[in-house]
């Protein structure tokens, strides 16, 4: 995969992650302490991923995919009855 395609895929993943981040921030005041800790870790990883976007390497793409998977799982857990509070 060439550099431009990698950068485009990573940019799209980062855009999706930023959208999820903004949505989850709105729910932050309802999170339990464990969920807050998990979210802070995921959000820190997103900040790091933004810096890797400049590199646009295979490792960056894999990191973006792993982080997106983690954020999706976290978001899904918030919607489950035992996963967290719902507004």
pLDDT in tens, 17-69: 888 888 877 776 666 777 778 878 888 887 777 776 666 777 778 888 888 88
Distance (Å, rounded) from C-alpha 68 to C-alpha 24? 13
Distance (Å, rounded) from C-alpha 60 to C-alpha 27? 28
Asked if pLDDT for residue 83 goes beyond 60, the answer is no
Tell me whether residue 86 is in a domain. Answer: no
Confidence (pLDDT) at 57 = 78
CB 8 within 8 A of CB 56: no
Domain that holds residue 25: 3-79
Tell me whether residue 13 is in a domain. Answer: yes
Query: Taking the complete model, does pTM exceed 0.75, yes or no?
Result: no
Higher pLDDT, 15 or 59: 15
Distance (Å, rounded) from C-alpha 13 to C-alpha 47? 13
Tell me whether residue 84 is in a domain. Answer: no
Domain count across the chain: 1
Confidence (pLDDT) at 28 = 65
């Amino acid at each position: 995969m060439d550099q431009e395609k990698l950068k485009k895929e990573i940019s799209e993943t980062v855009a999706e992650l930023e959208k999820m981040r903004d949505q989850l921030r709105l729910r932050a005041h309802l999170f339990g302490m464990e969920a807050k800790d998990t979210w802070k870790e995921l959000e820190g990883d997103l900040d790091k991923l933004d810096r890797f976007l400049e590199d646009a390497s295979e490792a960056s793409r894999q990191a973006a995919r792993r982080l997106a998977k983690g954020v999706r799982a976290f978001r899904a857990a918030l919607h489950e009855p035992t996963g967290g509070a719902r507004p």
